[in-house]
Amino acid sequence: MEKIKKIGVLTSGGDAPGMNAAIRAITDKALEQGIEVVGVIGGYRGLIDNKIIPLTSEFVNSIVGLGGTKLYSDRCNDFKTEEGMQKAIDTCKKNNIDAIIAIGGDGTFRGATDLSLHGIPAIGVTGTIDNDITATDYTVGFDTAMNTVLGALERFADTCESHARCNVVEVMGRRAGFLALNAGIAVGATSIIVPEIEAIRTERLFEFEEQGIQVVPSARAVNYTMNRRAIRDLASRELGLRTAKYVFAKTFEEFKKAADEIGFPCVVKPLMSSSGHGQSYVHNEEELEIAFK
């Protein structure tokens, strides 16, 4: 591969604390290596629309302490199309950009991968408060976001104690529970609920209702929502509705027998989950063991 002479830097998706510091670090290191650096305004949208600015030491040194991203950000569906991708490639060629460094989360990394597959070398720098990027301990922005949550919770605790109430606090994190888990541990939360652990002892909710505690909307409704056995039995046995053929299995032997009975391909789902988590589409017997695990 020829020596890279010019790179483009962009930020994409949700902004995260530290993005401007990442822009500065990339720019300073590249300039030190004799590589010209340009910024792409507005993420992948800017790459499509050819919004390019030069990045200098003076510019990046002035933004290092600012929040957000001075290159601006956007979620661009057009970049997912072949037409949008071609426009982005044309922008790189027109501006003699040899490679792209994309700062962002999982969507940004998918975009960088697609760009690489189309012939423009691209790498990603993790920039997301969710901390949901594999092969990295802490993403850019996670630590600051967690400390922001801690500050808010510490102030909120005074109000909770004043009214002798237990309060539920929802934090950001998308489909990852890192913010909730770490902040909850730090403030000594009584309970922490994260999306990675979906099994809920719904039978306890019936006990709470018997004790006079109100469950919203009701223990029965939550049980039907989270427990596949309950909702399946309700639809098929109690209401007599026509459903897809299903079998419940506890052991791998029961699982194999159920798959033979239903036939391939078949869909495998955990007894309790939501949003399709843990679901597998099994094409043949060889895939059963992986699906069961």
- The set of catalytic residues is 130
Structure-token pair, residue 146: 């967690």
d(CA 22, CA 110): 19
Structure-token pair, residue 272: 């309790």
Instruction: Please say whether the beta carbons of 258 and 270 come within 8 A.
Output: no
Short-list 182, 200, 91, 193, CA closest to 137:
182
Instruction: Please say whether the beta carbons of 251 and 258 come within 8 A.
Output: no
Q: 217 preceded by cis ω (within 30°)?
A: yes
Structure-token pair, residue 42: 């507005």
Cβ-based neighbour number of residue 227 at 10 Å:
19
